[in-house]
Amino acid sequence: MDIGIDQIGFYTPNKFVDMVDLANARNQDPNKFLIGIGQDRMAVADKTQDAVAMGINATAEYLDQVDLEQLGLLIFATESGIDQSKSASLFVKEALNLPANIRTFEIKEACFALTAALQVARDYVRAHPHHSAMIIGSDIARYGLNTAGEVTQGAGAISMLIKESPAIIALEDGHASYSENINDFWRPNGSPVAMVDGHYSRDVYLDFFKETFKEYLAQTKLTVSDFAGICYHLPYTKMGFKAHRIAIQGQDEETAKRLSDNFQLSAKYSRQVGNIYTASLYMSILSLLENGDLEAGDRIGFFSYGSGAMAEFFSGKVVDGYQRRLRPGLHKRMLQERTRLGVGQYEDIFTEGLENLPENVEFESDANHGTWFLAGQEGYVRKYQQK
């Protein structure tokens, strides 16, 4: 029985900072950000777009095509949680009127969490054929103003429906996992920004890629030339490019070109949005599907990395007619119609986003009609509304 991705919804907030503006404001050569880091723009979430609101928006995109009687599981993957106890998924469930009898919870392991959700969802569908699972990854990456990590911030969400006979990607059997308790990136309780050992995190990412890719190839007896493309967790596009260079070492020209072309297509959305942590790998997959020209049966490799650290390599095959399930026009419009912030405006929004919300507060949203947003808090309970 094929199990995999049947729907993908994507949301990123309506504001961005241009990397040339940021480089100029930070006295850096713009090419360091554009080429050295590989980012063009960075999405900025204002206080009305928290992880929950973005997750609702990504899910609302395809909700009218879901058979809610089949839905049995809803998992929310995030490292930008809004509560130490209650699952973000319960807010989504209420906003979108999802059935009361589903199992639902939040899950965390840095940027690996949405992959954890995907594997749990796949096992759930395997055990409960004819049932489906919804998984959401939603995050705001915050390192702080004037930090080395600032250029690798971003915000956004991906929501996916996992079911049997999927319309987009059928997951293949097998996976290679690797974990170690290390301190490359973490966010202690009470800190609104991540702590990071940036250069070390870069090395560990590549070590974990080598380890899991080698193990996956050995386990499945596949060779690099069997892949039409490989999608990576993209904290910034240059990071994935470094892993890509390792993957194509010693390959024939045709394989190297195919994987290189598809890498660039998979990085298109990330160049515009920045790091969306848990959902970043899945935004790369969406970018390749919506900007590339894949054929039914093409095999795509997936490298998932979450700091701390946990990595996994796995793969899937593109399903015949997958294009009919995608909404590239909607996503391209969403990216094009964003407002370009001045660096000062971005700094104000960023600084406001670090503050704890008062017990009672109300917010207005400047997002498009139909967008879900955080409308405020009453007695420390967050309230979400649709514009």
> Which residues are catalytically annotated?
79, 111, 233
Interface region with ligand HMG, contact rule CB under 6 A, candidates 4-12, 193-201, 291-299, 357-365: 193-201
The burial of 215, by beta-carbon neighbours within 10 Å (0-12 exposed, 13-18 middle, 19 or more buried), is given as middle
Query: Of the candidates 98, 158, 162, 93, which has an alpha carbon nearest to the alpha carbon of residue 124?
Result: 162
If the CB atoms of residues 236 and 322 are measured against ligand HMG, the closer one turns out to be 236
Give the one residue of 57, 152, 272, 287 binding ligand HMG; rule: CB under 6 A. 152
Give the one residue of 128, 202, 299, 387 binding ligand HMG; rule: CB under 6 A. 202
User: Residue 110, interface with ligand HMG (CB under 6 A)?
Assistant: yes
What φ, ψ does residue 351 adopt, rounded to 5°?
A: -65, -40
Residue linked to tokens 């890498």: 263
Return left, alpha or beta for 156; rule: phi > 0 is left, psi -120 to 50 is alpha, else beta. Answer: left
- The residue nearest ligand HMG at its CB is 36
Give the one residue of 12, 201, 262, 371 binding ligand HMG; rule: CB under 6 A. 201
Give the one residue of 8, 56, 77, 111 binding ligand HMG; rule: CB under 6 A. 111
Residue 143 annotated in ligand binding: yes
Interface region with ligand HMG, contact rule CB under 6 A, candidates 163-171, 303-311, 339-347, 353-361: 303-311
User: Residue 203, interface with ligand HMG (CB under 6 A)?
Assistant: no
Residue 40 annotated in ligand binding: no
Residue linked to tokens 């939603």: 138
What φ, ψ does residue 123 adopt, rounded to 5°?
A: -65, -35
Residue linked to tokens 């993908």: 8
**In terms of C-beta distances under 8 Å and separation of at least 24 residues, what long-range contacts does 201-206 make, across chains too?**
201/307, 202/239, 202/242, 204/307, 204/309, 205/233, 205/235, 205/239, 205/243, 205/305, 205/311, 206/242, 206/243, 206/246
E-strand ranges in 37-171 read 41-43, 71-77, 103-107, 132-141, 154-164, 169-171
User: Residue 180, interface with ligand HMG (CB under 6 A)?
Assistant: no
Give the one residue of 6, 79, 106, 312 binding ligand HMG; rule: CB under 6 A. 79
Give the one residue of 287, 307, 365, 371 binding ligand HMG; rule: CB under 6 A. 307
Interface region with ligand HMG, contact rule CB under 6 A, candidates 25-33, 262-270, 294-302, 322-330: 25-33
DSSP label at residue 226: G
Residue 29 annotated in ligand binding: yes
Question: Do residues 45 and 13 touch, judged by C-beta distance below 8 A?
Answer: yes
String of contacts with ligand HMG for each residue 238-257, x by CB under 6 A: xx------------------
DSSP string, 116-128: HHHHHHHHHHHHS
User: Residue 199, interface with ligand HMG (CB under 6 A)?
Assistant: yes
User: Residue 274, interface with ligand HMG (CB under 6 A)?
Assistant: no
Q: At what angle do helices 253-266 and 237-247 cross, to 10 degrees?
A: 160
If the CB atoms of residues 149 and 292 are measured against ligand HMG, the closer one turns out to be 149
User: Residue 151, interface with ligand HMG (CB under 6 A)?
Assistant: yes
Question: Do residues 152 and 275 touch, judged by C-beta distance below 8 A?
Answer: yes
Residue 356 annotated in ligand binding: no
User: Residue 31, interface with ligand HMG (CB under 6 A)?
Assistant: yes
Inter-CA distances, 47 with 130, 230, 369, 382, Å: 39, 35, 17, 12
Number of residues that bind ligand HMG (CB under 6 A): 31
Chain positions contacting ligand HMG, by CB under 6 A: 29, 31-32, 35-37, 79, 110-111, 148-149, 151-152, 184-185, 196, 198-199, 201-202, 205, 233, 235-236, 238-239, 275, 277, 305-307
Binding site membership for (3S)-3-hydroxy-3-methylglutaryl-CoA: which residues? 29, 143, 242, 275
